[in-house]
Amino acid sequence: MITITNLTKRFEDFEALSKLDMNIKKGSIYGLVGTNGAGKTTVIKHVTGVLRGDSGEVMIDGAPIYNNVSEKKRIGYVQDELYFLGNYSFKEMGRFYKNIYKTFNEDRFKEMVNNFDLDLDLKLSRFSKGMQKQAAFILTLCTMPDYLILDEPIDGLDPIIRKLVWKYIVKDVSEREMTVLVSSHNLREMEDICDSIGIISKGRMIIERDLDELKSDIHKVQAAFKDEDMEKEALKGLKVVHKERRGSVGLYIIRDKREKVEKAFKDKKPLVFDMLPLSLEEIFIYEMGGGEDEIEAILS
């Protein structure tokens, strides 16, 4: 389990993280979501022990991670900006990892190299960016980490390779109870793979929920009433995140229990009433205010 409590981090006058709390359950896949500059990578650098907070705690299984070599050995980290020893072939890099990590699984390495169809004898510096990302995944997963940390993991990978990567990750979560923290802008993919979601903005945790629970408590409602007074009465007492009008029909994003929302609207006998499911992408946009800047950031 990864636990972050009251974490604050400043870089000179800029507060990158502010009293941030986060809880990642053992054997789960946790998606960290936020606009550019929200603090996602800063969180990851604390979880991997690269940075130490100005205040607060970052714990893995009850032990602090910073300067903790034994705990860091249990972490696999694939970052957006990759680094390899330039003159090494993929095969030589595999030997390098095997010498460093006692847990390195050579049989899995051979299997994954074959499944990803990569050239072991080719120098990594001659790999494309997508091939280098695949190599990083293979090397990291073959160390059999207890904790896998991914920062923008699927950038530059084609759909078939992405599916293969997630297949291996889900297998390790299922069979070994590996714990995964993933930061990504690809919310459609996160929605398919994650158990829990944390949404951060300007270094603060806005929402942290199990994905199913998050989606069950926020609803898109379309309704039309005879007059504005009936509409106001229906919305009274509900937590309305967003409201707009499309002709005579109102669109409402409401964070509340489904039963409560249905009763509030149906009691006022609307002319039109429909409750629609929300995607994770829509939830993110509306929770962040639905402004043009936020929409451009998430869809870019």
User: What is the spatial distance between Cα 106 and Cα 121, in angstroms, rounded to a whole number?
Assistant: 16
Q: Is 139 exposed, middle or buried (0-12, 13-18, 19+ CB in 10 A)?
A: buried
pLDDT at 296: 46
pTM: 0.85
Each residue's pLDDT, cut to its tens digit, for the chain (300 residues) gives 999 999 999 999 999 999 999 999 999 999 999 888 889 999 999 999 999 999 999 999 999 999 899 899 999 999 877 777 778 999 999 999 999 999 999 999 999 999 999 999 999 989 998 999 999 999 999 999 999 999 887 777 888 999 999 999 999 999 999 999 999 888 888 888 999 999 999 999 998 999 988 888 889 999 999 998 999 999 999 999 888 888 889 999 998 999 999 999 999 999 999 998 888 888 888 877 654 444 444 444
What is the CATH code for 217-299?
3.30.70
pLDDT at 83: 76
CB 197 within 8 A of CB 214: yes
What does DSSP assign to residue 226?
S
Virtual torsion, Cα 120, 124, 125, 128, nearest 10 deg: 90
Whether 217-299 and 2-212 are alike in CATH topology: the answer is no
Positive or negative, the Cα torsion across 68, 73, 76, 82? positive
Positive or negative, the Cα torsion across 46, 49, 55, 57? positive
Residue 251 Cα distances to 220, 273, 287, angstroms = 7, 10, 15
**φ and ψ at 221, to 5 degrees?**
-120, 130
Q: Residue 113 carries which side chain, given as an amino acid letter?
A: V
pLDDT at 297: 47
Residue 298 Cα distances to 95, 96, 249, angstroms = 39, 38, 27
pLDDT at 290: 56
The CATH architecture that domain 2-212 belongs to is 3-Layer(aba) Sandwich (3.40)
Structural domain boundaries in the chain: 2-212, 217-299
Residue 93 structure tokens: 């890099």
